């Protein structure tokens, strides 16, 4: 992004682990803030609060990789979450206790993907802080409830945005596959680093 777009560094998210720069980019006549979100609900949820303080932003487009819980459903498609199972810690500080949190802009994102003629599927996802406790029993339980992917931020970020009256627009790409006999990570590098998601996020920004 730094090589492609005119930009200005406007601030930083500072913590003892390091400093994350926050930039404002000029893209298609828009000013769009951008930063690399931290991994996990607690950090990612804190990031949106920091970035709101720095820039005044109240709309957040969040994208990244996820693990597939249903490879037949997600193969070759972007995942647009409708609800997220709350196996994180942060969301219980910002929303009343419940198993799932609704992703309120799911239909907005789906409509944009359909306009762009991009393959996508809506479904529940599972937010967990404990990547090494994505056990077979939990996978089976979440899949039985309609979860098609697992990730680490969404429930927390949605709860923060709901609490403050902000909006998050989320989409995912499944990289690793959990519902196979052998754990498959062959798509993970592409899901993490392919720049197509950035350009889709710009198209979402144009429409919101």
Summarize pLDDT for 84-101 with one digit per residue, the tens: 999 999 999 999 999 999
Cα 76 to Cα 58: distance, rounded to the nearest angstrom: 31
pTM flag (> 0.85):
yes
Q: What is the mean pLDDT of residues 23-33?
A: 95
Alpha helices per DSSP H over 101-177 = 106-115, 136-144, 154-164
Three-class SS of residue 188? Answer: helix
Cα 110 to Cα 166: distance, rounded to the nearest angstrom: 19
**Which structure tokens are listed for 34?**
């951008």
Three-class SS of residue 174? Answer: strand
Q: What is the pLDDT of residue 187?
A: 85
Helices and strands (H, E) in the chain, number of each type? 7, 9
pLDDT tens digits, one per residue of 157-199: 999 999 999 999 999 999 989 988 888 888 888 888 888 999 9
Which distant-in-sequence residues (6+ apart) come within 8 Å of 17 by Cβ?
Answer: none
Q: What is the pLDDT of residue 174?
A: 95
**Which structure tokens are listed for 54?**
């720095």
In the chain, what are the domains?
59-207 (3.40.50.1580)
Angle at 90 between CA 133 and CA 36, to 5 degrees: 85
């Amino acid at each position: 992004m730094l090589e492609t777009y005119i930009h200005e560094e406007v601030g930083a998210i500072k913590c003892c682990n390091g400093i994350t720069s926050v930039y404002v980019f000029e893209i298609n006549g828009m000013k769009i803030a951008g930063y690399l979100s931290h991994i996990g609900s607690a950090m990612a949820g804190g990031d949106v609060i920091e970035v709101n303080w720095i820039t005044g932003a109240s709309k957040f487009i969040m994208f990244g990789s996820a693990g597939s819980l249903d490879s037949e459903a997600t193969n070759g498609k972007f995942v647009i979450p409708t609800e997220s199972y709350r196996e994180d810690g942060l969301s219980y500080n910002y929303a009343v206790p419940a198993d799932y949190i609704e992703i309120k802009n799911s239909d907005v994102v789906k409509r944009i993907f359909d306009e762009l003629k991009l393959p996508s599927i809506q479904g529940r996802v599972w937010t967990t802080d404990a990547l090494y406790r994505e056990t077979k029993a939990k996978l089976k339980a979440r899949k039985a409830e309609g979860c098609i992917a697992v990730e680490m931020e969404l429930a927390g970020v949605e709860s923060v945005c709901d609490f403050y009256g902000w909006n998050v627009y989320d989409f995912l790409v499944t990289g690793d596959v959990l519902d196979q006999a052998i754990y498959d990570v062959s798509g993970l590098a592409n899901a993490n680093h392919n720049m197509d998601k950035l350009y889709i996020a710009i198209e979402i920004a144009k429409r919101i």
